[in-house]
Structure 1
């Protein structure tokens, strides 16, 4: 199991890469590590925040794709109809763009720090863009099993 340390503003999260569900998406994301950007509040989708990544499209298949990520789930939209982006749901989300509803690949799930998601979302909505940083965490098998059961 691969864990990712995520820092957003003043909040620290730990997430699990969903390598069994979205292997190619996870491999593409791993290749970007460590990754830093700005997290902003979504425009159309509901209670979520996103990282706009511009016009660079990734050649990825649909893997564990959804238009309705659950709180704590990150989805990756590889580009095409709309710009490439990563979205984090902190509440109810219907992933969409100016072109309508879109599916994104669920590739990362928060396993520690879920209690911070609402505050993080509200800070992004009312105070603006928040810096976000993703870094791979290497853990021993027994520690990974403990986090997986959390």
Structure 2
């Protein structure tokens, strides 16, 4: 089980890659570590923040996909009818776009720091984009 450290805004989280459930997505993402971006608040999906990636192609299809990630779940939408994105659920999410319902690959689960998820979401909502950094945890 590959462990990650995630720094998002002023908060830090421990997480794991869901390698058994989403092996291709995890392998591609792991190759890109450390991975940084900016979180903005979702437009359609509810209580989530996302990293918009335009037409970037991770080269993966659907695996372990869901439209309803739980708080602390991170999904990758590989593109198609909407732009590629990484979404972090901090509360209730019904993953959608202006095109309608979407599904993304659940490939990361936050394992500690969940008490900061709502604070992070509200920070992004009310104060704007926040930096995020995904790194391998020490010893991983």
Is contact 2:75–2:106 with CA below 8 Å preserved after alignment? yes
User: Secondary structure of 2:132's partner?
Assistant: strand
Q: How many residues align?
A: 140
Is 2:96 the partner of 1:103? no
Give 1:96 deviation, angstroms: 0.6
2:81 — aligned with what? Answer: 81
Confirm or deny: 8 A CA contact 1:57 1:80 kept in the other structure: no
**What displacement does 1:57 show?**
2.1
Give 1:33's aligned residue: 33
> 1:145 maps to what in 2?
none
Question: How far apart are the structure 2 equivalents of 1:136 and 1:98?
Answer: 34
User: Would the aligned equivalents of 1:2 and 1:138 in 2 still touch at CA under 8 Å?
Assistant: no
CA contact (8 A) 1:5 1:134 kept: yes
Q: Report what 1:122 is aligned to.
A: 122
Q: Deviations over 1:85-105 (max 9, x none)?
A: 000000000001111110000
- In structure 2, how many angstroms separate the alpha carbons of the residues matched to 1:107 and 1:114? 17
Long gaps (5+) in structure 2:
none
Distance in 2 of aligned mates of 1:54 and 1:62: 18
CA RMSD, 1 decimal: 1.0
Structure 1 residue runs of 5 or longer lacking an equivalent are 141-150
Runs of 4+ aligned structure 1 residues displaced above 6 Å come to: none
TM-score by length of structure 1 reads 0.90
Alignment correspondent of 1:4: 4
- TM-score by structure 2 length? 0.97
* Contact 1:18 1:26 (C-alpha < 8 Å) held by counterparts: yes
User: How far apart are residue 138 of structure 1 and its match?
Assistant: 4.2
Q: CA deviation at 1:48?
A: 0.3
